[in-house]
Structure 1
Amino acid sequence: MIFGTKDTGPVADAVKRHWVDTRLPAWARPYARLARWERPIGWWLLLWPCWWSAALAAIKAGHLGPNLWHLALFLIGAVAMRGAGCTYNDLVDEEIDAQVDRTRSRPIPAGQVSRTQAKIFLVLQAVIGLVVLLQFNTYTILLGIASLAPVAVYPFMKRVTNWPQFFLGLAFSWGALMGWAAVFGHLGWAPVALYIGGICWTIGYDTIYAHQDKEDDALVGVKSTARLFGVFTKPAMLLLYTAATILFALAATLADAGPAAFAGIAIGALHLLWQAIILDIDDPDQCLKLFRSNTTYGWILFIGLVLDSLIGNF
């Protein structure tokens, strides 16, 4: 039975007085927290490569903007699959989460939901994701199914490698391939460049995020690029974000993009530079704010790509 949960209060690092805690019935709140509905940054970060890819494909195809139906499907799919991924991650990490101050109040270690209830909720979210995926062409459906491989291995990587953020990038940047495939029914070098750039971007922003937990991670033996880079995080961020910017520019070049797309990439590069320069790895609150600011970065690139596709048709 999926109901029968108990609401013992919000998660420690969740947004306070969010609609999840003030509007939802008590039985639904633990599930919303399990899916991180009160923290939309996660599904935005999953969504951006999808929308960038859709806009890049529109430029290459000469369309008047990206396919709005595709954008809507990617939005629904990102929310559902991000929730499913968080649920899966929490099932895998229950013992670790119980030992970390920031995560021990999550629904599973806090006893708000049982593992069986969490598994049922995981399946329900995955079904929604599958229904969304089936709206696309066959190539995109198969490509979407292939994305389950990096999703499945990611939660275990923090136990075996200092680069779990790389594996997060493999999963979270997959949409860079999907948007293009949804339009053309195949891949090309432009979405591949976008995908690799997305991986570099993901390693960068998730390193910032991981600095919130580096002390607890060291105690429980969890590995991360935050612990690996340490005091060299700033130069590492500059390298990662520079690589991401170059690869995004390469993707735009391969898609025959015009000035508006490159203007968006350039303005976005300034935003990433700002993140790297002001970063204080010993200030968890600032790390969280900088991490969340990547939603703004996503909008900058997307608007540039959309404007370019529109300008190209006038």
Structure 2
Amino acid sequence: MKTVFSPLHAGHGGQMELVAGEIVPGFEKPSRAEFIRARVESEKLGPILAPKEHALDAAKRVHRADYIDFLPTVWPLWQEAGYPGSAMPFTWPTRGLRADVRPTRIDALMGYYSFDAGATFVKGTWDAIKSSYDVGLTAAEIVKAGERTAFALCRPPGHHAGAAFMGGYCFINNAAVVAQWYRDQGAARVAILDVDYHHGNGTQEIFYERDDVLVLNLHGDPNTEYPFFLGHADERGVGRGEGFNHNYPMPAGTPWTKWSEALEDACNKLTAYGPDVVVVSLGVDTFEKDPISQFKLKSEDYPRIGERIARLGLPTLFVMEGGYAVEEIGVNAVGVLTGFEGA
């Protein structure tokens, strides 16, 4: 299995975030990707390739153009304003406020284009975002060219980013970008299987009215788990998209025995849909030791995930999302991949 990886991700480091009333160092840090890359090497998974440069056209197929154009300007505008620290929003156009008028100040723009204070910027953030996008598309091209699978070691992750908003450490939705890219390259149907602990709210929002991209999310119950405001079981799509969005919210403490039942049902729905390619939003924050998640999967469970996905018998692209138990993230993420390869 070929892995695509860019060292430019490390420029997005030292950023701060707002959590439970405190400004703290971001849980989403460079060591996450480095542990995974090291495990890819030690397990001899396959070659690690640098990404090719891509124009932002593919990003604008799933994100609003003004949002994508805004992202490279954040840090320069923040510096120009003379603000210290990480570029971070502090006010949002919620219910009762106007969201139809784009403000001009950078701190207001940060709120206009976000839904939380978790997607913050430092000097190297845009280069990391762009490299993550390039990683995703380069890996997608490998599968399109005939490989059975590839691994996009994306950082920062993407599945919380919607058509015109960032949040949850995510800026460009890499899984959504590559799913749309496959459609534009001729795939009749694409499926996105999101196994991250946190609901892929951005992915759901982007494809909610469509029947050409099936979205399946296995995640923590949004009544108690971030991102809270999306991910309920009754969210099944609207219009043409009705029946093409499936959520599997599960309570804190869910072990492999129950989690795997949801995976089995999702895989059965995926088989019935018959996509040309599967995009896996690979989050491993379902791990029992993850510091910001509440499921109870163990390291030996992750190869089983890969094995089940492999039994679908479909071209499969793995796109890295979350996972914050840094010492084990490499073992668990690569465990999925070796399970897939071994099957």
TM-score category of the 2 structures, normalised to the smaller one: 0.3 to 0.5
Bigger proportion of residues as helix: 1
What TM-score, normalized to structure 1?
Answer: 0.34
Bigger proportion of residues as strand: 2
Max radius of gyration: which structure? 1
What TM-score, normalized to structure 2?
Answer: 0.32
